[in-house]
Amino acid sequence: MTITLTDQERQHLIQLANEIRRNAYVPYSNYRVGAALRSISGRIFTGVNVESAAYPTTMCAERTAVFKAVSEGEREFDAIAVVTDNGGSPCGSCRQVLAEFGLDIVVLIADGEGKLHHEMTLSELLPEAFTPRHLPG
């Protein structure tokens, strides 16, 4: 079941994601990403991208937020805000990790000025997602 966010809830998540992205470690790309993930219990977990000289080991902000939440015992989420300078969209890996926890998650994509570029569900962002239902057993 998809939730409907109020304007205040949208702005709060976008603001948190925008603020936290100052902490991003991006010495190679200088592309700061912040994420604010809300669990259905109302807790909000933030994340930033962390780059590495060994590029494949870099971690995105969205997955950082998910992994923080899961490590704190959360498994159900209803919304995530992702903020970049230019309103960039989550990568495929982040989309797949989010899909693990529900295709009804509302995804807000905003820029560094706080302008909302896109609002959609994860199922709209990742159509035909591979999920646990595809696994045998």
d(CA 32, CA 72): 25
pLDDT string in tens for the chain (137-residue length): 668 899 999 999 999 999 999 999 999 999 999 999 999 999 999 999 999 999 999 999 999 999 999 999 999 999 999 999 999 999 999 999 999 999 999 999 999 999 999 999 999 999 999 988 889 97
Length of the chain: 137
Q: What gap in Å lies between CA 127 and CA 125, rounded to an integer?
A: 6
Which domains does the chain carry?
Answer: 7-134 (3.40.140.10)
Please pick, among 9, 62, 72, 100, the residue that the annotation labels catalytic.
62
8 A C-beta contact, residue 35 and residue 47: yes
Annotation says 62 is catalytic = yes
